[in-house]
């Protein structure tokens, strides 16, 4: 359980930091475009860069800045296959006060870093934020049921392992119980919250209390307060 709490906070923090970084990259590029002027350049070389599992090609561009000064720079973004070919003419954007920091006038060259960082940050943020939001709603619902729910007593059926959730190679356990509505005769199955140890040896009673919302029996809380607390 502690691991799950750590994971959701870590994901949320990483997502927030990466989204902040993407916003900073966006502002940096927007500011650069406000200051920049254009020039025509030519791709003089493609630098081959190998990572652990892929190869990318980075164009090296040469252009003449204002005053005729020859500038050569390597693009910060690469691709495979190459986006440019040697000898290809490209439009260059540069800040007259710092022409060495020029960029190719292309969508990915300008906005690629912000898009990649923002995309990854969105994934982390959605996962971490979703986990936090789900936990908050679940806690609020449980608190409401514990205060206002109607207590029924459901028959213990079994202890099952929730294989749909795995943390560090371990899956939690749940107590499964059932109760038949005295008026409708419908059978309702309830599952406890995830338990990070096997409670089988500690479930000695035939029935356990369940707090339900009379108007919506899908909202319930299985009372497992009779179980021993897991040592931290």
Look up the pTM and report it: 0.68
Share of the chain above pLDDT 70, in %: 98
Tokens of 90: 């490209």
52: confidence class by pLDDT, cuts 50, 70, 90: confident
CA distance linking residue 94 with residue 154, whole number of Å: 72
pLDDT at 154 over 90: yes
Residue spans per domain, the chain:
2-116, 149-222
pLDDT at 1: 57
Q: How many CA atoms within 13 Å lie on the side-chain side of 38? A: 5
Q: Any residues with CB less than 8 A from the CB of 25 and at least 6 apart, and which?
A: 113, 114, 117
Between 178 and 6, residue with greater pLDDT: 178
Which of 122-160 are b and which e, b meaning 16 or more Cβ less than 10 Å from the residue's Cβ?
Answer: eebbebbbebeeeeeeeeeebeebeeebeebebeeeebe
The CA distance from 204 to 210, in Å, is: 16
- Mind listing the pLDDT tens digit for each residue in 61-79? 999 998 889 999 999 888 8
Mean pLDDT over the full length of the chain: 92
- Over the range 189-226, which residues count as b (16 or more CB within 10 Å of their CB) and which as e? ebebeebeeebeeebeeeebbbbbbeeebeebbbbbee
Q: What is the pLDDT of residues 99-138, one digit of tens each?
A: 999 999 999 889 999 999 999 999 999 999 998 998 888 8
| Rounded Cα gap, residues 192 and 7, in angstroms | 22
Tokens representing residue 217 in the block? 């029996």
d(CA 60, CA 75): 6
How far apart are the C-alpha atoms of 110 and 90, rounded to whole Å? 14
Q: What is the maximal distance between C-alpha atoms in the chain?
A: 92
* pLDDT band at 189; cut points 50, 70, 90: very high
Instruction: Work out the percent of the chain whose per-residue pLDDT is above 90.
Output: 78
Q: Residue 189: enclosing H or E segment and its boundaries?
A: strand 187-191
């Amino acid at each position: 359980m502690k691991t799950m709490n750590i994971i959701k906070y870590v994901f949320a923090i990483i997502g927030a930091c990466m989204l902040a970084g993407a916003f900073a990259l966006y502002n940096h590029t927007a500011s650069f475009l406000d200051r920049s002027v254009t020039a025509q350049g030519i791709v003089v070389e493609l630098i081959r860069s190998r990572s652990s599992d892929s190869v990318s090609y980075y164009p090296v561009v040469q252009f003449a800045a204002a005053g005729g000064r020859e500038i050569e720079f390597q693009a910060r973004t690469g691709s495979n296959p190459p986006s440019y070919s040697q000898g290809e003419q490209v439009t260059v954007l540069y800040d007259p006060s710092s022409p060495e920091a020029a960029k190719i006038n292309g969508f990915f060259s300008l906005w690629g870093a912000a898009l990649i960082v923002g995309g990854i940050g969105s994934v982390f943020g959605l996962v971490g934020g979703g986990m936090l939001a789900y936990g908050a709603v679940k806690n609020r619902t449980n608190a409401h049921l514990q205060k206002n729910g109607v207590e029924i007593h459901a028959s213990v059926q079994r202890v099952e392992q929730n294989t749909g959730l795995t943390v560090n190679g371990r899956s939690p356990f749940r107590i499964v119980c059932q109760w038949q509505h005295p008026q409708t005769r419908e059978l309702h199955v309830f599952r406890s919250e995830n338990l990070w140890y096997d409670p089988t040896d500690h479930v000695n009673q035939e029935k356990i209390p369940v707090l339900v919302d009379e108007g919506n029996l899908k909202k319930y809380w299985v009372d497992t307060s009779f179980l021993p607390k897991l040592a931290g």
